[in-house]
Amino acid sequence: MKQNVIEFRNVSKLFGNVAAVIDNNLAVEAGEFLSILGPSGCGKTTSLRMMAGFEQPTSGEVYIRGENVTGVPAFRRPVNMVFQHYALFPHLSVQDNVSYGLRQRRPRPATADVAKAVDEALSMVRLDGYGSRRTYELSGGQQQRVALARALINRPAVLLLDEPLAALDRKLRRDMQVELQNLQRNVGITFLLVTHDQEEALSMSDRVCVMREGRLVQVGTPRELYDKPVNRYVAEFVGKSNFFKAGEAGKVTSVRPELIDVAKSKKALPDGLVTSTEAKVLNRIFLGEQTEYRVASESLGEFAVVTPRKAEREAGAFDIGDRIAVGWRAEAARLLPDE
Amino acid sequence: MTAALLAPAGVFFLFLLIIPLAVVLVFSFGERAPAGGYAAAFTFDNYLNLPARSKAFINTLTLAPLGTLLTAIIAFPVAYFLAVKVSPRWRVTMLVLIMAPFWTSQLLRYYAWIMLLGAKGIPSWLALIGITDVRLINTPWAVLIGAVYGFLPLMVPPIYVSLEKLDKRLLEASADLGATPVSTFFQITLPLALPGVATGSMLVFILLMGDYILPQYLGGGKVFFIGNALVDLFLQSRNWPFGAAVSVALVLIMLVTIYAYMRFVLSRGDRRRAALV
C-alpha cells in the first residue's frame, strides 16, 4: 500500500453554524497528482487551507507524513501552496520571492547555495534570467511560474494548488496544464490541486476526489469517475450525461451522450442494442471535432447525443426536424442512485 | 485650460511662499536697524552668528526626530489593530475617536498636560508609591509626551491606509513559506506599510520642527525649539536679519533631512507604491 502524505481523519470544519467540511477522510498518496473537484462552496478550498494550516479543523485530525499536525501553524508545516492570485510579494524581486522560503530556514543557508537553488528553480519553470525583475512587470503566466518556483524550491511534502489556472486565459491554461503535469513528473513532488473545472481535474490528475457540500462523494482515477460514477451527482459533474427514469424508485439510468448510437432508421442501427427508439432532432450544436444533437423521443423524452465527425462521412449530418433512430448497448446504461 | 486650473495655486504659492521666502532670504543678509527691524546691507554676520542659538537647533534636531519616531512606534500598532483586527463596521468609528482630541483647542490640551505633568500631577501620584523627586514639566520628556499626544492622530491614518491596502494573502503566503509571525511582520507587513509610515512621519516631523507652542508650554522656556528662538528674535529683540538667517537655516535643514529620508524610504520599500504617496 502506498504511504499517505496527507491524511484527514474524520475532519470537520464549522464556520459558525455552517459546516464547510463534514467528516472527511481524504488521503493524499505519496507522489501522486490528486485533484479535489467540486462546485464553489463544496469545502474543497477549506480542506486545502486545513492542510496548509491556515484553518484548524473543528474536530478530527490532520496527518502529514504520518505525523499529527492538528493545531500546528502554517509556518511549521512542510507543505507549500500556490495561491489563486499567486500572492507574490510586490516589494521583492523575482529572485527574492523565490528564495523567500529558503531564507526563513534556521540556520540560514549560505547565500551562494540560495542563489544556486533560485537559478535551478527559475530554470525549472522556464524563467531563466528573470531573477532581477519585479513581479508586477511579468505577465499572468509568468507570475504563475514564479509562484510555482517559490513553492517548489522548498521541496514540500505536498504542493497545494488553489485554482492556480483560474486567472489565466483559455489558451494559456491549456499550456499550463501540460506544464504542471510535466513538472510534477520531473520533480516527483506530490501535487494536490483544487479546482471546479472538471476538464482540468480529469486531464491532469492521477486521482480525483469529488466533493459535495463538505463531503467526499467519490475518489478514483479520472477513468473510474467517468465510467463508474457512484451517483447522479458525479455523473453530472464529471462529463455530461443523460438521465432517464428507471424502474426502481430513487434510481436513474445514466447514458453518456457519446455512447448513444445514431442512424437514419432503426434498420441502419448496429446490432446488439438493448434500447432503440425513433427520435426527432430538435437542435444541432457544431463543436468542431464532434456534433451534439438535442433529440426527443416519445418514450424517453429529450436528451443529448454526441457523434464524432468521422461518423458523418457515411451518414452525413442530420438536420433539425429529421426523424432518426437512436439506441445504446447494455453496458452504456448505468443504474445510479438519484442523488 | 490647464493654466487656468493651476492659476489659483500658482498665485497662492507666488504671494504666500515664494515672495515671502525671497524677502526672508534678502533680510538674512541685512543688518538690524538701530530701533529694531531690518536695515539694508550685505553681510554674512547673521549666519556666522548662528552658533549663538545652537541650543535651539540641538533641541529641535534631537527632539523632533525622536518625537516622530516615538509617535510612529506608538501609532503603528494602533493602525495595525484598526486595519487588521477591527471589524470593518467599527473602523470608521474608531478612526474618528482617534481624531477626537483635535476637536478641542490645542492650547487647552497643552494646559491639561501642564497640570498632569506638573508637581501636583503625575509626580505627586508617583510619590504615593514611593517614587519621589520626579520632574516632568519643563523637561525634554514633557515635550516628547506632548509630541506623541499631539501628533498621534496625524500619524495613525496614513499608516492605517497602507495597512488596509495590504493584501492579507501575502501574510498567509509568508507563513506558508515558513516565516514566523515576527519575520512576516518585518519582511512583509512593515516594508509594505512603509509608504504610510513615511507619509505620517513627514507630516509629524515637519510640524514638530517648526513648532513653538509645544516647547513653549510643556518645555516652559527651558526646552526651547528653533520656533521659540524665532519668536524671540522677531518679536522681542526685534533682530529681523538674524531671525531671517535662523529661518533660512531651518528651511535648509528640513529640505536636506526630508530629501535624505525620502531617498532612504524609497530605496527600501516597494518603489511602485511609495511613488504614489
Give the closest residue to A161 by CA, choosing from A180, A134, A175.
A180
Low-confidence ranges of chain A (pLDDT < 70): 1-2, 315
Q: Is residue B27 part of a domain?
A: no
Chain B positions touching A50 (Cβ under 8 A) are: none
Q: What is the CATH number of the domain that holds B131?
A: 1.10.3720.10
Nearest-10 Cα torsion for B151, B157, B159, B164: 160
Of the pLDDT bands very low, low, confident and very high (cuts 50, 70, 90), residue B269 is low
Q: How many CB atoms lie within 10 A of CB A294?
A: 17
Q: Is residue B266 part of a domain?
A: yes
Q: Is residue B17 part of a domain?
A: no
Give the closest residue to A179 by CA, choosing from A133, A125, A221.
A125
A143 inside 8 A of chain B by CB: no
Q: Tell me which H or E stretch contains B257.
A: helix B240-268
pLDDT of residue A1: 54
Nearest-10 Cα torsion for B188, B191, B194, B196: -20
Return the sign of the alpha-carbon dihedral for residues A239, A241, A246, A252: positive
Chain B positions touching A75 (Cβ under 8 A) are: 175-181, 184
Edge-to-edge order in the sheet of strand A333-337? A242-245, A251-255, A333-337
CB nearest to A75's CB, from B175, B269, B273: B175
User: Helix, strand or coil for residue A323?
Assistant: strand
The hierarchical CATH code for the domain A241-337 is 2.40.50.100
pLDDT of residue B274: 43
Q: Which domain holds residue B195?
A: 53-276
Of the pLDDT bands very low, low, confident and very high (cuts 50, 70, 90), residue B46 is very high
- The segment(s) of chain A belonging to CATH 3.40.50.300 are 4-234
Q: What is the mean pLDDT of chain B?
A: 91
CB nearest to B176's CB, from A80, A85, A89: A80
- The yes-or-no verdict on residue B271 having pLDDT over 60 is no
Chain B positions touching A87 (Cβ under 8 A) are: 167, 169-170, 172-173
CB nearest to A136's CB, from B174, B187, B272: B272
pLDDT of residue A169: 87
Q: Is residue B68 part of a domain?
A: yes
Query: How far is CA A105 from each of CA A109, A154, B84, rounded to the nearest angstrom?
Result: 7, 10, 27
pLDDT of residue B1: 84
β strands within A147-224, DSSP E? 158-162, 190-195, 207-212, 215-220
Query: How far is CA B74 from each of CA B78, B81, B153, B219, B270, rounded to the nearest angstrom?
Result: 7, 12, 11, 22, 23
Residue B114, all three cell numbers: 501642564
Contact B177 A101 (CB under 8 A): yes
- The more confident residue out of B174 and B271 is B174
Q: Is residue B261 part of a domain?
A: yes
Contact A75 B273 (CB under 8 A): no
Chain B positions touching A53 (Cβ under 8 A) are: 175-176
DSSP B225-249: -HHHHHHIIIIIS--HHHHHHHHHH
- The segment(s) of chain A belonging to CATH 2.40.50.100 are 241-337
- The yes-or-no verdict on residue B38 having pLDDT over 90 is yes
For the stretch B172-230, pLDDT in tens is 999 999 999 999 999 999 999 988 999 999 999 999 999 999 999 999 888 999 999 99
Residue B11, all three cell numbers: 498665485
Query: How far is CA A98 from each of CA A51, A54, A92, B169, rounded to the nearest angstrom?
Result: 22, 21, 9, 16
Q: How many CB atoms lie within 10 A of CB B17?
A: 10
Q: Is residue B20 part of a domain?
A: no
Q: Alpha helix (H) ranges present in A31-169?
A: 44-52, 94-103, 111-124, 140-152
Q: Is residue B218 part of a domain?
A: yes
Class of domain A4-234: alpha beta
Q: Is residue B28 part of a domain?
A: no
Per the structure, the count of domains in chain B is: 1
Angle of CA points A321, A327, A330, to nearest 5°: 160
Q: Tell me which H or E stretch contains B218.
A: helix B213-218
